[in-house]
Each structure stands twice: as structure tokens, then as C-alpha cells.
Amino acid sequence: MLLRPFLTYFKQRIRQVSTHRKSIDEFFTQHLSFPFLQYKEHLHVARAERQFIYDTSGKRYLDFFAGIVTVGVGHCHPRLIEAATKQMNTYWHVSSYYLQDPVRDYAEKLLEHFKDDKHLSVCLFVNSGSEANDLALHLAKEYTKQNEVITLRNSYHGVVQSTLCLTNIAGFKRSYSTGSRVAMNPDPYRGIWGGQYCRDSPIQTTRSCSCQKDHCQASDRYVEQLEDILHYEVPKKKVAAMFIESIQGYGGSVQYPKDYVKQATQLIQENGGLYVADEVQSGFGRTGTHFWGYQAHGAKPDIVVMAKAIANGFPFAAIVTRPEIAKTVGYYFNTYGGNPIGCAVAGAVLDVIKEEKLQENSLRVGTHLLESLAKLRDQMPNVIGDVRGKGLLIGMEMVTDKESRKPLPIGKMNAILDRCRDNGLLIGKGGNFGNVFRIKPPMCITIQDADFAVNVLEDAIRKEL
């Protein structure tokens, strides 16, 4: 008799759970805050494997967004599952109060990728890119004893309160998110200076410019504008740091004129500031030519921030810096920083990138994809304004006409996204105006995958525009 009330209660709970499952989109809308749900008819994910995602109906999609540039080596890679399971069977968490082999082992593996920058020899582990940039900001101000920070227009460095001052995309700004000086974005496509000889990319903008092939005058002009900020806006020209994404991520895969980063960061460092290289999206071989995006710029960072692909979707992030900068952190504690499961997975990621030659694959397949998209740009009158990027970090900017470069309206962008999804392709969108398709697949994709994606995109654009 005593069991009957409990059985009745559990039956009611089962019915409630079933009701919630049948209306999951309604549940998300009412009880969870997900303002970026991508599609008109929401995609309900059931499982994923390598470069593919499957929905609850069993339909397969080619994933060309990789969990927002996070799934670097592919969904559910067996090597990562093995590493995570092995560590989970040992211990999950004890905190950074104790010595742990997984933390040491991963730090050693990670620092192998800084052999050319031996001054970068100390790791600090956190949980996300925003948190890593927050810590980098803290270190820069403590080390330099300065408060001024410089970032670029169109930059994205996270949306926790401390990093909102570093992010310069209108949709993320808040009335309290002040505290940095904002330099002009050195964008060869949409900026004041720059054109067809400026980018370190297999594909250049079609916009003409006065630069020579062996020297980018646009870079000089943007650096002069940065110097004006130091002269007119910064007390005694002293700054704490300049934060730069090696290629702008959420901002639409914007690449800077050649030598800009090198010249700009030298200027900052000469005035006592630190160069913080944000590798959250451009790191771990994704650009193809280098393991870290800053290496292609010939610049020497003081702090390197990394997250996303570091553990292929497991919440994990890190910064690597100089010993004397790390010491200024003072009493800093992070409960989950250096989680042993995260360290195990992140270590396996480095192994897979090397063994499966995924950096080389990013260069080979990414160059093919860029060249195919550039051909599509030239064939499509007045709608594809720019194709840019390196490796598998690609942006395609959509416009109403190529002469004015007016951004394509969000409604039309969403219609193209929906049609791509209907035809089995998932891509993202970004940029300050939301008019850039972000094409950043897992680094294990093939030439055939790239060709399929271009065909689906072409079909969607032609039918929706």
C-alpha cells in the first residue's frame, strides 16, 4: 500500500518529462536563454561523428561550423574518447591544490609547440576563451601597472563583463562595457585602405589599391592611425596591452594587411605594453601554414590565449606566457582550471593533429575550398562581395551589390542558411552586420566535402536571391 503513492508520483513525472521532450523548442524558449538558435525550424541534434551531425530523424548534415570552430579533429574522435574514459576511470577532479600527472603531461606537450618562442614557457589553465582573455587582461595590467588597453574594431574576445571592453561588435556592447581604446580595423575589403595585394591569403579582395606586391602601404597607414591613438588618447603613451585575434573570428574571418600585426605590436611593446595574441579560433593548425596564427605575422606575443579546439569541445582553455608575467598573477585560484579529464583530452587532440596531419589537411583542403568559393564569387553578380581566410578559417561576405558593399540583409542571410540546412550543410554567420558566412569545418574534411559544400551554397544563393 505504501508503494502506491510513489508509483502514482513517478508516473506523473514520466508524463511531465515526455511532454517536455515533445516540445523541446518551446522549453528552450521559455526556460533557457539561447538567443542564437540558428534556424527557423530548430535543428534537434541526436548524435555526431567526425565531420557529420545527425538530427533526431536520422538525417545527416555536413558540419561546416564545427561547434563554432571548436571541433577541430572531428566529432567523437575515438582517440579522445579513449583518453577521457581512461582518465575518468582514474579520477575526475581534485583541484589545483595537488600535483597531477595529467596537468604536467599536457603542459609539456603544449609547450612543445612554442619551441620557436622559448620565452613563452609558463601555462595557466582555465575553462573558456572568455575566461582566458579575462586572465590575460588581469596579467597585463598587473605586470605593466597600466590600465589602458587597445583593441580593434570588429574584434571579439568574449562576453564576460571584464572582456566586453575588448569586444567591439555592436550586438555585444553594453553601456558599462567601456575601458579600452579602439583602433581602426585594418580590413583590406571594408576598411579605408587596402586591396588586392594586402592579405596573407591564397585569395585576395578584388578591390584595387596602390600597394606594391612587395610592400603593403595600407599596413603603414593603419599603424599610423594606431600611433595617433597613443599620441592623442593615452596618457604618456603608456598602455597595458593590445589584444589582437590573428584572424578575426566572430567578426567574419577578417584578415589584416601584411605586416600590420608585426608593426602594431612592436609599437605597443616599445611603449611598455604587452601583445596578447588571441588564438581561440586561429590556433591548433587551423590556418594550415602555421600551428599558431600569430606565427604567420612574424610577431612576438607576450601572452597567447587559446580555447575552443584545444580540447575539441570539452570545456578547457589556457594561456601561455613569460615566467615574469605569470608571477604577477598573485593569489589566483581556478577550481576547474587544469581539470585532469580536460588535460587528457587536450593531449590527445595534439596527438591526433600530428598523426593525422590535420594541419596539412587544413592547408590542402582549405586552399581548394577558398579557390572554389572565389570562383563562385566571380560567377555571382553583385552578391558575394569577398572571400577570405587561410586554411579552414574562411569567411564569405555577402552584399546587395559589389560597388557599394552594402551588407546583405539578415533575412536573406537566414534564408540561405535555412536552405543550406535543408540540403544537408551547416554553416555559421557573423560579422558586425551579420552578413558573413563563417565556414570553419572540422579539420578532417575531404576535398569531396568541400565540393559538396560549395555546390549546396551556390544552389542556396541562386534560389534565395
pLDDT in tens, 267-318: 999 999 999 999 999 999 999 999 999 999 999 999 999 999 999 999 999 9
**Residue 144, pLDDT score:** 97
For 431, list phi and psi in degrees, rounded to 5: 90, 155
**Residue 33, pLDDT score:** 62
C-alpha cell at 353: 593533429
Q: What is the DSSP string of 203-249?
A: S--S---S-BTTB-HHHHHHHHHHHHHHHHHSGGG--SEEEEESS-T
Q: Is the pLDDT of residue 216 over 90?
A: no
What does the DSSP 8-state code read for residue 308? G
Q: Is the pLDDT of residue 230 over 70?
A: yes
The model's pTM: 0.92
CA dist., res. 79 & res. 349, Å (int): 8
* Angle at the Cα of 312 from the Cα atoms of 116 and 310, rounded to 5 degrees: 25
Mean of pLDDT over the chain: 92
Residues ≥6 apart with Cβ < 8 Å to 24: 44
Of 252 and 213, the one with more pLDDT: 252
Spell out the long-range contacts of 30-39 with Cβ–Cβ below 8 A and sequence spacing 24 or more: 38/417, 38/421, 38/428, 39/417, 39/418, 39/421
**Residue 332, pLDDT score:** 83
Structure confidence at residue 56 as a pLDDT band (50, 70, 90): very high
**Residue 173, pLDDT score:** 80
Q: Domains in the chain, ordered, with CATH?
A: 19-73+358-464 (3.90.1150.10), 82-355 (3.40.640.10)
Distances (CA, A) of 79 to 355, 360, 407: 11, 19, 42
pLDDT in tens, 406-448: 999 999 999 999 999 999 999 999 999 999 999 999 999 999 9
pLDDT in tens, 136-158: 999 999 999 999 999 999 999 99
**Residue 368, pLDDT score:** 98
Q: Lowest-confidence range among 33-37, 116-120, 148-152, 382-386?
A: 33-37
H helices, E strands: number in the chain? 13, 15
Structure confidence at residue 176 as a pLDDT band (50, 70, 90): confident
pLDDT in tens, 6-45: 445 545 554 554 444 557 777 766 666 666 667 888 899 9
